[in-house]
């Protein structure tokens, strides 16, 4: 086989691999799709995002005072998108879930478009896009169809990259910069890709770099000015507020999240050297390296989850298929190297496939039981007059309760001195909340959401009324006092 024919074979990619990656993507997407219309929450973020989206169409400020117990430390654009969509569909949680699903598919489409151009292969493009869906759905299913802006921000960023790689013209540079600025207005911590693009253009195309920097600077300043005019200093104070952080937290979190990406990370490391020698593919190496470093830095913050490594996952879904396309030339003595590398990228979803398939019935039954318990919990909350405090914020949202206390961010504010926990403890002492819901309650509970003082005051003034799949519900020992 000649080098040219071997390369052509890699670009064609065996049809069985495309079928396999498609089946794995569908298999791991199945349960999140079942969850799409439920009221049971996927994650703490769902109710939090719903309350802030609701603020867009109400008189309540989107960015409360710094000492508020339900602060907003996200940029405003996602709430501005979800709010009208929620009004159209009936509620912001399901609207946000649908937007997240569409964003997932958009990221896969952008990866496919980028790889089709980079590898001169439509099959490899499709493989890369489906690979992303399969990997994310298998490794981090709670972020699929979740009411959270993370995937929407990535979709905007990746669409911008696909536009830029289509040709280094001023119009494309400006459009890419606009999409990436919009992505930053959805989620502020996605800095790896814009930084990688800047470094790559510096070495690849200085004229395009000037267009890119001019557009990014102009649009960025316009975005910051718009935020200031609309909200004043509040977004900046909230977004950049101090958070508890440590290297130990980063090491612990990364040790939990990165093993799910072990196979594509290993293949990405194999690809790094030859890709760095390619002036165009060097961008993928920069993106992956910066994503890994920045992801580690962000996981130092308490409460930061595996989404800190989604940029890395996207970069690996670009870098891995790029290596597959070059395998016959880079590894001429190894027959079948390209399909073997492609199979290696599918190792994680493949290992999880039997459990996803055979356990689907059990998991849907568990979800149905959780849904039934959740509806009963919502009825209990809705039946009680007065304010409620929910650790699972979606429960209070579905019950129609007004904004209460965001336990996680409040704890961060107490630690930084922006708010005083004594005021919250006094509200417990007065039995001000008609119901308190916690995911777990034990005498010595002291964690990132609930302090030991909170636990003691709660047990002193409240009694357990109901235990459910969503935790424990407490009522006051006596009526509220003033």
How confident is residue 311, by pLDDT bands cut at 50, 70 and 90?
A: very high
Could you give the CA distance from residue 13 to residue 339 in angstroms, rounded to a whole number? 7
Contact between 338 and 344 (Cβ < 8 Å): no
pLDDT of residue 181: 97
Tokens 């696909």 correspond to 162
Could you give the CA distance from residue 478 to residue 310 in angstroms, rounded to a whole number? 48
How confident is residue 146, by pLDDT bands cut at 50, 70 and 90?
A: very high
pLDDT exceeds cutoff 60 at 5: no
What percentage of the chain has pLDDT greater than the value 70? Answer: 96
The backbone torsions φ and ψ at residue 2, rounded to the nearest 5 degrees and listed phi first, read: -75, 165
What is the token pair recorded at 280? 């165009």
Q: What is the DSSP letter of 121?
A: -
Rounded to the nearest 10°, the torsion over CA 154, 157, 161, 163 is: 110
**How much is the pTM?**
0.94
Q: Which helix (H) or strand (E) holds 209?
A: helix 206-231
- Reported as a single tens digit per residue, the pLDDT across 57-105 is 998 999 998 788 999 999 999 999 999 999 999 899 999 999 999 999 9
| CA dihedral over 389, 391, 395, 398, signed as positive or negative | positive
pLDDT exceeds cutoff 70 at 310: yes
Scored b (16 or more CB within 10 A) or e, 177-204 reads bbbbbbbbbbbbbbbbbbebbebbbeee
Cβ atoms within 10 A of the Cβ of 226, count?
Answer: 12
pLDDT exceeds cutoff 70 at 184: yes
Could you give the CA distance from residue 458 to residue 450 in angstroms, rounded to a whole number? 10
Lowest mean pLDDT among 5-14, 60-69, 255-264: 5-14
Q: Which helix (H) or strand (E) holds 476?
A: strand 471-476
pLDDT of residue 4: 47
Distance of CA 395 to the CA centre of its chain: 21
Helix (H, G, I), strand (E, B) or coil at 375: helix
Could you give the CA distance from residue 177 to residue 474 in angstroms, rounded to a whole number? 50
Helix (H, G, I), strand (E, B) or coil at 264: helix
How confident is residue 479, by pLDDT bands cut at 50, 70 and 90?
A: low
Could you give the CA distance from residue 207 to residue 209 in angstroms, rounded to a whole number? 5
Among the residues of 140-205, which ranges form H helices? Answer: 150-165, 170-186, 192-204
Helix (H, G, I), strand (E, B) or coil at 56: helix
- Which of left, alpha, beta for 344 (phi over 0: left; psi -120 to 50: alpha)? alpha
What is the token pair recorded at 55? 């603020």
Mean pLDDT along residues 308-336: 88
How many residues appear in the chain? 482
How confident is residue 3, by pLDDT bands cut at 50, 70 and 90?
A: very low
- Reported as a single tens digit per residue, the pLDDT across 392-437 is 999 999 999 999 999 999 999 999 888 999 999 999 999 999 999 9
The backbone torsions φ and ψ at residue 246, rounded to the nearest 5 degrees and listed phi first, read: -165, 155
Cβ atoms within 10 A of the Cβ of 65, count?
Answer: 12
């Amino acid at each position: 086989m000649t080098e040219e024919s071997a390369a052509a074979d890699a670009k064609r990619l065996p049809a069985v691999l495309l079928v396999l990656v498609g089946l794995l993507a569908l298999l791991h997407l199945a349960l999140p799709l079942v969850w799409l219309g439920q009221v049971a929450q996927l994650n703490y973020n769902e109710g939090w995002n719903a309350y802030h989206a609701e603020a867009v169409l109400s008189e309540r400020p989107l960015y409360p005072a710094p000492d508020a117990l339900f602060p907003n430390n996200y940029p405003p654009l996602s709430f501005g998108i979800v709010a009208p969509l929620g009004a159209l569909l009936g509620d912001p949680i399901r609207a946000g879930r649908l937007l997240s699903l569409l964003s997932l598919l958009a990221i896969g489409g952008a990866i496919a478009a980028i790889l089709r151009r980079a590898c001169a292969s439509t099959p490899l493009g499709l493989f890369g896009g489906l690979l992303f869906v399969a990997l994310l759905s298998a490794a981090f299913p709670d972020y699929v169809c979740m009411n959270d802006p993370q995937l929407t921000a990535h979709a905007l960023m990746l669409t911008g990259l696909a536009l830029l790689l289509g040709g280094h013209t001023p119009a494309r540079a400006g459009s890419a910069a606009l999409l990436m600025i919009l992505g930053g207005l959805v989620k502020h911590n996605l800095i790896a890709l814009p930084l990688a693009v800047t470094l790559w253009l510096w070495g690849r195309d200085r004229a395009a770099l000037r267009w890119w920097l001019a557009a990014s600077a102009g649009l960025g300043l316009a975005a910051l000015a718009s935020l200031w005019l609309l909200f004043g200093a509040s977004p900046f104070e909230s977004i950049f507020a101090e958070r508890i952080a440590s290297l130990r937290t980063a090491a612990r979190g990364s040790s939990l999240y990165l093993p799910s990406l072990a196979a594509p990370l290993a293949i990405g490391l194999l690809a790094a050297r030859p890709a760095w020698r390619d002036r165009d593919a060097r961008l993928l190496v920069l993106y992956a390296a910066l994503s890994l470093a920045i992801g580690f830095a962000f996981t130092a913050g308490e409460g930061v989850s595996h989404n800190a490594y989604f940029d890395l996952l996207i970069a690996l879904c670009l870098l891995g298929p790029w290596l597959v396309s070059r395998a016959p030339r880079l590894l001429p003595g190894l027959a079948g190297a390209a399909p073997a590398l492609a199979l290696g990228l599918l190792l994680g979803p493949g290992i999880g496939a039997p459990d996803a398939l055979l356990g689907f019935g059990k998991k849907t039954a568990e979800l149905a039981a959780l849904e039934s318990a959740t509806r009963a919990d919502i009825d209990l909350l809705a039946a009680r007059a007065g304010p409620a405090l929910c650790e699972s914020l979606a429960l209070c949202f579905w019950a129609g309760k007004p904004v209460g206390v965001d336990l996680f961010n409040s704890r961060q504010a107490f630690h930084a001195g922006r708010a005083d926990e004594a005021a919250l403890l006094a509200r417990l002492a007065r039995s001000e909340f008609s119901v308190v819901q916690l995911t777990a309650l034990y005498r010595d509970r002291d964690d990132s959401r609930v302090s030991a003082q909170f636990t003691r005051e709660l047990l002193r003034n409240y009694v357990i009324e109901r235990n459910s799949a969503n935790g424990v519900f407490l009522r006051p020992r006596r009526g509220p006092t003033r």
